Amino acid sequence: MRRIRYHVRHDTLYRYDQPVGESHQLLRLLPRTLAWQESIAHSVEVCPEPSRAKNFVDPFGNRVRALHFEADHDELSIRSEVWIDLMSRPMPDMAASPPWDTVRESLRYKAGHSISREMLEAATFRYESTYIRLKRDFADYARASFPPGTPLLVGVEALMRRIFAEFKFEPGATDVSTPVTTVFTSRRGVCQDFAHFMISCLRSLGLPARYVSGYLLTRPAAGKKRLIGADATHAWVSVFCPGTGWVDFDPTNALLPDLEHITIGWGRDFGDISPVRGVIIGGGGHEPEIAVTVVPEDEFASVYGAADDLPFELRPTPACSA
């Protein structure tokens, strides 16, 4: 079994137009422990220091750090760093998965019919949520990949590859508020949009699918060095298959995630697993500046040897921490 160790740095900086008098923030930045993923070390540094902090686990099993700030501040800096090991995942036998329409029927409510705890949990990912819509148009689009009796995972892979072929990756074409119906019409967006659209298609067919948030190793152009802060968070889709469990699919890259996808967590959609989310009193206009760096262990020294690559004037190490 192959094993690769990565270092991930995730910087978030808010510069507020006006002082913030009070702030509550929820951080979902700690990768999950999975059969193929092990977090070796993790730290979170925050400036200014929060008045209070606590850790808890959300309903989807993601680890969350809650911060409460009561003193005036005009900046908020959050740096998460993690060392994490990834092991190669066994790839499922797509053709051996059960027919998709059988799976759909097994998850439908029937009076007096009981289902396993695993199936019941999966059923919670069949419905609309904040960023997911159930539409006949989405079901019609997906159905071309799901003729009657098609093995579930064969159909999901076909749908993923169609989205990859027919939708254009275009940064700036959308934002977090862009409806998934608009993404379907324009056929353009980013990984978050493609994940939301693919999930909408699958749930519109009655199949359970969840939104996965994490990081993706990117590769610099030929002859170029890996730059600090040049990466970003990534999103993909996980589908429940009876007898196999949850299987991940990445419609942005038309592949099944393996040794280059680091999982932070999952939920019904982006709203459940946003890396940093909160409310503030004051602040005026502000947009977060985000920089992510994913580095294989054997490149760490060469990447972080020079401090002049640091993004948006972040201090090398915040002066205070939580």
In this structure, are residues 223 and 279 in contact, taking their beta carbons and an 8 Å threshold? no
Give the Å distances, CA to CA, from 8 to 16, 121, 152. Answer: 26, 31, 34
The tens-digit pLDDT sequence of the chain (322 residues) is 689 999 999 999 999 988 999 999 999 999 999 999 999 999 999 999 999 999 999 999 999 999 999 999 999 999 999 999 999 998 999 999 999 999 999 988 777 777 888 888 999 999 999 999 999 999 999 999 999 999 999 999 999 999 999 999 999 899 888 999 999 999 999 999 999 999 999 999 999 999 999 999 988 777 777 656 568 899 999 999 999 999 999 999 999 999 999 999 999 999 999 999 999 998 777 778 899 999 999 888 888 875 444 443 333 444 454 4
Count CB atoms within 10 A of the CB of residue 203: 25
Whether the full predicted model's pTM is greater than 0.85, yes or no, is: yes
Task: Please list, in sequence order, all residues whose beta carbon lies within 8 angstroms of the beta carbon of residue 263, skipping any fewer than 6 positions away.
Answer: 31, 32, 34, 37, 212, 213, 214
Domains with residue ranges and CATH for the chain: 3-87+275-313 (2.60.40.2250), 94-272 (3.10.620.30)
DSSP-derived 3-state class of residue 227? coil
* Distance separating alpha carbons of residues 131 and 135, to the nearest angstrom: 13
In this structure, are residues 266 and 62 in contact, taking their beta carbons and an 8 Å threshold? yes
Q: For 119, what's the count of Cα atoms within 13 Å in the CB-facing half-sphere?
A: 13
Q: For 86, what's the count of Cα atoms within 13 Å in the CB-facing half-sphere?
A: 25
